[in-house]
């Protein structure tokens, strides 16, 4: 963490601006959920993109990571990175199971 700025008080406008963004994104994600005839995978992609966006601004502005030192970045990043590792390797198994050239292999 930076040697200074830990007890630095941020202007209220930072929080208000963040709140408006969050509300706008909330409306966006609900509306996107109701667009007819969106393929299922695209719906998931849109919903997750907006969720990641929302989470990022919460982490950056409300949790002050943008204004913190390298260590906070490292810790904030590590959790999500390890989650990605878990998802990626678990899915590697489930996605590639149907490729196996055996008859009657379970779905």
How far apart are the C-alpha atoms of 88 and 98, rounded to whole Å?
Answer: 17
Is residue 104 a contact residue for other proteins (CB under 8 A)?
A: no
Q: Is 48 exposed, middle or buried (0-12, 13-18, 19+ CB in 10 A)?
A: exposed
Q: How many CB atoms lie within 10 A of CB 43?
A: 13
Which residues are at the interface with other proteins (CB under 8 A)? 1, 3-4, 6-7, 9-10, 12, 15-16, 18-19, 22-23, 26, 29-30, 32-34, 40, 43-44, 47-48, 50-51, 54-55, 58-59, 61-63, 68-69, 71-72, 75-76, 78-80, 82-83, 85-87, 89-94, 96-97, 99-100, 106-107
């Amino acid at each position: 963490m930076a040697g200074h700025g830990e007890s630095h008080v941020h202007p209220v406008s930072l929080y208000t601006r963040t709140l408006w963004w969050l509300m706008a994104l909330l409306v966006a994600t609900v509306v996107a959920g109701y667009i007819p005839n969106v393929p299922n995978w695209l719906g998931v992609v849109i919903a997750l993109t907006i969720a990641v966006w929302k989470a990022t601004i919460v982490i950056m502005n409300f949790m002050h990571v943008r204004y913190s030192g390298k260590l906070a970045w490292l810790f904030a990043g590590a959790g999500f990175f390890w989650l990605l590792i878990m998802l990626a390797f678990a899915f590697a198994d489930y996605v590639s199971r149907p490729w196996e050239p055996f008859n009657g292999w379970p779905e």
